[in-house]
Amino acid sequence: MSFAMLRIISFFSLLHLCLSTPPRGYLELRLKSAFPLNATVEIADDIYFPTNKRVWNVPLVPDEVKVLSNIPVQFHRPGIVLVNSGPLEKFGLDFETIRSERWNTQTMTIMPERIHLPFTGFRIDFMCFRNWHGPYCDKFCNENNAALINRRCTHNGTLGCPYNFRGPNCKKPITDCHCENDGFCVSEFKNPTDSVDKLICECPVGFEGDRCEKEQYEYAMPLSVDMHGNKRSEKKWMLLKQFFARSMVANELYDNSF
């Protein structure tokens, strides 16, 4: 290996060291297929200088949910998830990919209402490790200690009353909520020893600001699906076109309670 090459590599690993904090949250990916597949899943941090790339072979059998869990990821940064179905000969499919577009990694769930066969279920959840809070899992608050004094941890990492209550003893119901865009009103004590709380808004994905009034700039529709076949074989290509035309199905892992 040449000297110049070495220098480039060490520059990027240095850059990586400077930019990354220890992961404070993880990703969980669920897949379901209507056919036996030799699928692979690739996950990396960042999209411009992909680092920490990990690849899994995920054999799928019909109607069984496969779960990849506890995969540490960097929050507040873009990430890559690439699912490759592997071949499905009888429909002329060489492989299909489900690829993440740009997103801002935060606590969220990605599950389209409909997906393309051969997959019948697809879902990604981003979650914080225990005691880390907020959309980017960067606010620390010990939940056991909070519960001991009848408090919960807010998205700011501060203490607040249990959901739906406020006041010095957390006895007053919350009635006067002024959060926008389905933000949820919670109480917060600025300091752990305060007895006077105020109401703050915990925002759904896509919104931020004190009243959840601002749309998050970085959030984008996150998934694209591509099917790949062999154009040189007319028979296979026809099969794939027919397959594609009928391939949109309901996502069995879609959960409409969200």
Ligand X SMILES: *[C@@H]1O[C@H](CO)[C@@H](O)[C@H](O)[C@H]1NC(C)=O
- Site residues, ligand X (CB under 6 A): 36-38, 86-87, 156, 158, 188, 190, 200-201, 210
Query: Which residues make Cβ contacts (< 8 Å) with residue 194, sequence separation at least 6?
Result: none
Beta carbon of residue 202, minimum distance to ligand X (angstroms, whole number): 7
Beta carbon of residue 188, minimum distance to ligand X (angstroms, whole number): 6
Q: Which is nearer to ligand X, 176 or 255 (CB)?
A: 176
Q: Which is nearer to ligand X, 28 or 94 (CB)?
A: 94
Q: Which is nearer to ligand X, 146 or 201 (CB)?
A: 201
Report the sign of the C-alpha dihedral through residues 174, 175, 178, 179, in that order.
positive
Do residues 99 and 237 make contact, with C-beta atoms less than 8 angstroms apart?
no
Please give the C-alpha separations between residue 101 and each of 3, 27, 41, 188, 205, in angstroms, as whole numbers.
35, 16, 15, 35, 16
Element holding 14 (H helix, E strand): helix 3-19
Q: Which is nearer to ligand X, 59 or 168 (CB)?
A: 59
* Token pair recorded at residue 151: 């408090």
Q: Which is nearer to ligand X, 16 or 228 (CB)?
A: 228
Beta carbon of residue 157, minimum distance to ligand X (angstroms, whole number): 9
Beta carbon of residue 155, minimum distance to ligand X (angstroms, whole number): 7
Beta carbon of residue 18, minimum distance to ligand X (angstroms, whole number): 27
Q: Which is nearer to ligand X, 72 or 87 (CB)?
A: 87
**Residues 210, 199: Cα–Cα separation, whole Å:** 10
Beta carbon of residue 47, minimum distance to ligand X (angstroms, whole number): 28
Of the chain, the end-to-end C-alpha distance in Å amounts to: 52
**Residues 129, 131: Cα–Cα separation, whole Å:** 6
Q: Which has the closest alpha carbon to 58: 28, 35, 84?
A: 84
Do residues 203 and 171 make contact, with C-beta atoms less than 8 angstroms apart?
no
Report the sign of the C-alpha dihedral through residues 175, 178, 181, 186, in that order.
negative
* Token pair recorded at residue 196: 């006077």
Q: Which is nearer to ligand X, 7 or 190 (CB)?
A: 190
**Residue 128 amino acid letter:** C
Beta carbon of residue 149, minimum distance to ligand X (angstroms, whole number): 18
